Amino acid sequence: MDPLQIAKMIEEKFAGQVLATTSHAGQVGVLVRKETIRDICLYLRDEPSLKLDHLADLTAVDYSKYPGDTGPRFEVVYNMISTVHHHRIRVKARVPEEDPRIDSVSSIWQTANWHERETYDLMGVSFDGHPDLRRILLAEDWEGHPLRKEYPLKGY
Amino acid sequence: MVNRMSPTDTEQKKTIQKEMTLNMGPHHPSTHGVLRLVLDLQGETVVGVDPRPGYLHRGIEKWMESRTYHQIIPITDRLEYISCMTNNVGWVVAVEKLGGITVPERAQFIRTITAELGRLSAHLIWLGSSVIDLGAMTPFFFVSKEREFVLDLLEMASGARQTVSYARIGGVRNDVPRDFIDKCREFTALFPKRIDDYETLIRNNRIFMQRTVGIGVMTAEEAINYGLTGATLRGSGVNYDLRKVDPYAAYDKVDFDVPLGKNGDVYDRYLCRMEEMRQSNRIIQQCLDMMQPGPVVCEDARYAVPEKMSVMNSMQSLAHQFVLMSKWVPMPKGEVYVATEGAKGELGFFIVSDGSGRPYRVKIRAPSYVNLSAIPKMVTGHMVSDVIACIGTIDIVLGECDR
C-alpha cells in the first residue's frame, strides 16, 4: 500500500490526533499526539490491511539545535514495516523537554523493550509502562544522556 | 538401612533448589567479543538471563553528527567489522536515497559483488566460530582458507582486507582491477564444492545435531515480534529478505532464492546460513556475467568523488576531491530510514538532515543488538551449554551491537 494512503487511514481513524504528514524521497512520516501513540501503534499492527508487524527501529531525535524548529524538544520516531505487505510507515511524536515521557509500546512489540531502553539511556526520554527501564549501553552510574545536543563530543 | 528422607537429605535438596547467579563474560571465549550475560541458574538449568551489552560502546552515533557524509564511510567499517562492505553499502544507499542520487550500473554490480563477498566472509567466520563453541575444532581451520581467498579479493578491489571503505556516495572508489574478475570466477567455481565438504563434517554429525536440534526455538510470530532479522528470522520460516523486499544495488537484476527454515531452532538457522552462502555465490556469478564496462561513480559533481586516476592526473579533479573531502557537501533537508540486508540482518540507517553537509542525527539500527534482545527468550529453560549454542546462532558482532 502507498505510504500516503496509510497516513490517510491513520488520519481517518484517529481524527484530530495527526498533527502533520511529511514526505521525503518517497517515505512518509506521520506526526501524531504523544497521548495516543499506543493506540495508533496497536491499530497499525492489528489492522489486517496494514499489518505493520515488524517494528524495525525506534529512536528519538533532539530538535533543540535544528534550524527553524520551534516545537517540543524531542521527537520519538517509530519506523515500521509489514512482513506480509512489505509497506513502510514512520510514526513520530513530539515530547517536551520539561516532561520527556511517552507511553511504552513494548507490550505491542517485544523488540521495543531494548530500543526504548537505549533511547532512555542515550537521549533521556522515559517510557511509561516499560517493564524494565534501565541504562543499557552506558554504565549504570553514568551521568547525562550523550545524544542530547548540549552534551559535548569530547572533553567531558 | 539409611532413612532416605533424613534431615540432611532435605537440607541438601533445599541447597540444590536455591538459585545461583553466574556472570558470563565480558571476557569469555564463546561470547564473540565483549558480551556479558548474567545468568540465573537452578542447578544446570537457566531460569533467567540478563544480557549486558555496552562494553564496546564508542558513541558512534554521536560521533557521526560531527562528520561529513563522506567521512562517515570509514566509521561504518567499524560497526560490523567482519563484513565491512555490507555496512559501506548500507550507508551510501541511505545517503543516496536522502539526496536522490543515481548510481551507474557498473558500480551497482561491483557493490553487489563486494557486499556478497563481505557476507561470505562473515558467514564463514560464523560457521567456524559457532561450531568451535560446540566442540568442533576442525571446521574453523578449513573456513579460514576460504575466508583468506575472500579477503584477498576484497584487497584487490579496495586495497584493504578488512576495513575496506570501498563504497562512495554515488558509486565506488575505483573500478575493479582487470584480474579481479578472473580471480573472482576462480573463487565462485571452487566455493560450492568447499561448502559441500564442510557440510559433510557438520550437517549430520550426531553430536552437532544433539546440541542444536530443538534448542533456542523461536516461532515465526515470536521472531517477528522480537524484531529478529536476517537468517535468525528466516530460520523460523518467515520470508523476509531486504534484498527481495526492498531491492537495492543490483539485487533486482539477479536471480536467487531465500532459504527458509521450518522449526526455528539453532539447527534450522545453521541450514539457512549454509544455503545463503551458496546463494551468495550464485549472485556473484551472475553479476560477473552481467557486468558491462562503464563509469563507476555518478556524473553529479556535487556528490561524486572523482576517480583516483583522474585525481592523480588532473588539477581540477584534485581540487574537486579536496573540496569534497575537506568541506561539506550540502544534502537536502529531510529524513530517511533505509534498511539493507547486512550479514547479520536488517542494517538500517535513519538519517535526519538539516540541509547542511553533516547529518543532524543518525540512528543505526544494528541487527546484532536487536537479535541479542531475544536471547532471554531463546535460552530460558535450557542448559548452560545451550546458551553458547544460542549466542553462536544469532551470530553477534559486538562492534555493531554496542556501536
pLDDT tops 50 at residue B45: yes
Domain limits at B370? 61-402
Cα B164 to Cα B77: distance, rounded to the nearest angstrom: 7
Q: Give me the interface pTM, i.e. the ipTM.
A: 0.93
Give per-residue pLDDT as tens, B204-222. 888 888 888 888 899 999 9
Q: Which regions of B233-317 does DSSP assign to beta strands (E)?
A: none
Asked if the C-beta of A53 comes within 8 angstroms of chain B's C-beta atoms, the answer is yes
Q: Which of residues 244-263 of B touch A (CB under 8 A)?
A: 245-246
Residues of A in contact with B330 (CB under 8 A): none
Contact assignment for A56 to B360 by CB distance below 8 Å: no
Cα B346 to Cα B66: distance, rounded to the nearest angstrom: 25
pLDDT tops 50 at residue B301: yes
pLDDT tops 90 at residue B43: no
Give per-residue pLDDT as tens, B149-193. 999 999 998 888 888 888 888 888 888 888 999 999 999 999 999
Crossing angle of helices B178-202/B138-158, nearest 10°?
Answer: 170
Give per-residue pLDDT as tens, B232-245. 999 999 999 899 88
Cell readout for B376 is 532471554
Residues of A in contact with B335 (CB under 8 A): 22, 24, 27, 29, 90
Asked if the C-beta of A70 comes within 8 angstroms of chain B's C-beta atoms, the answer is no
Q: Which of residues 155-214 of B touch A (CB under 8 A)?
A: none
What is residue A156's predicted lDDT score, i.e. its pLDDT?
Answer: 54
Smallest Cβ distance to A110: which of B59, B61, B226? B226
What is residue B11's predicted lDDT score, i.e. its pLDDT?
Answer: 57
Q: Cell 547479520: give the residue.
A: B344
Mean pLDDT of chain A: 89
pLDDT tops 60 at residue B332: yes
CB contact set of A65 (below 8 Å; sequence gap of 6+): A149, B360
Chain A's closest residue to B98, CA to CA, is: A25
* A115 backbone dihedrals φ, ψ, rounded to 5°: -60, -40
Asked if the C-beta of A83 comes within 8 angstroms of chain B's C-beta atoms, the answer is yes
Mean pLDDT of chain B: 87
Residues A62, A74 contacting (CB under 8 angstroms): yes
Cell readout for B350 is 535513519
Q: B20 in a domain, yes or no?
A: no
What is residue B24's predicted lDDT score, i.e. its pLDDT?
Answer: 85
pLDDT tops 80 at residue B258: yes
Mean pLDDT calculated for residue range B296-303: 80
Preceding omega of B330 cis (within 30 degrees of 0): no
What is residue B1's predicted lDDT score, i.e. its pLDDT?
Answer: 43
* B4 vs B380 pLDDT, higher one: B380
What is residue B8's predicted lDDT score, i.e. its pLDDT?
Answer: 54
What is residue A144's predicted lDDT score, i.e. its pLDDT?
Answer: 87
DSSP for chain A reads --HHHHHHHHHHHSTTTEEEEEEETTEEEEEE-GGGHHHHHHHHHH-TTT---EEEEEEEEE-TTSTT--S-SEEEEEEEE-TTT--EEEEEEEE-SSS-EEE--TTT-TTHHHHHHHHHHHH--EEET-S-----SS-TT--S-TTSTTS-SS--
* B144 backbone dihedrals φ, ψ, rounded to 5°: -60, -35
Contact assignment for A146 to B59 by CB distance below 8 Å: yes
Contact assignment for B361 to A62 by CB distance below 8 Å: yes
Chain B's closest residue to A67, CA to CA, is: B354
Asked if the C-beta of B62 comes within 8 angstroms of chain A's C-beta atoms, the answer is yes
**Domain assignments of chain A as residue spans, ordered by start:** 3-128
Give per-residue pLDDT as tens, B260-275. 988 889 999 999 999 9
Give per-residue pLDDT as tens, A10-39. 888 888 888 888 888 889 999 999 889 999
CATH fold group of domain A3-128: Beta Polymerase; domain 2 (3.30.460)
Strands A126-128 and A101-103: parallel
What is residue B12's predicted lDDT score, i.e. its pLDDT?
Answer: 55
Smallest Cβ distance to B224: which of A53, A139, A146? A53
Q: How confident is the model at residue A78 (pLDDT cuts 50, 70, 90)?
A: very high
* B68 vs B7 pLDDT, higher one: B68
Q: Give the global pTM.
A: 0.89
Domain count, chain B: 1
Residues B65, B360 contacting (CB under 8 angstroms): yes
Residues A102, A127 contacting (CB under 8 angstroms): yes
Give per-residue pLDDT as tens, A93-142. 999 989 899 999 999 999 999 999 999 999 999 999 999 888 999 988 88
Which of B224, B244, B331, B400 has the most A C-beta neighbours within 10 Å, making it the best mutation to test the interface with A? Answer: B224
* B322 vs B25 pLDDT, higher one: B322
| CATH of residue B317 | 1.10.645.10
pLDDT tops 90 at residue B138: no
Query: What would you report as the CA-atom Rg of chain A, rounded to the nearest whole angstrom?
Result: 16
Contact assignment for B350 to A25 by CB distance below 8 Å: no
Contact assignment for A138 to B54 by CB distance below 8 Å: yes
Give per-residue pLDDT as tens, B60-99. 999 999 888 888 999 998 888 888 889 999 999 999 999 8
Asked if the C-beta of A11 comes within 8 angstroms of chain B's C-beta atoms, the answer is no
Contact assignment for A66 to B354 by CB distance below 8 Å: yes
Which of A45, A54, A73, A149 has the most B C-beta neighbours within 10 Å, making it the best mutation to test the interface with B? Answer: A54
Smallest Cβ distance to A67: which of B354, B365, B374? B354
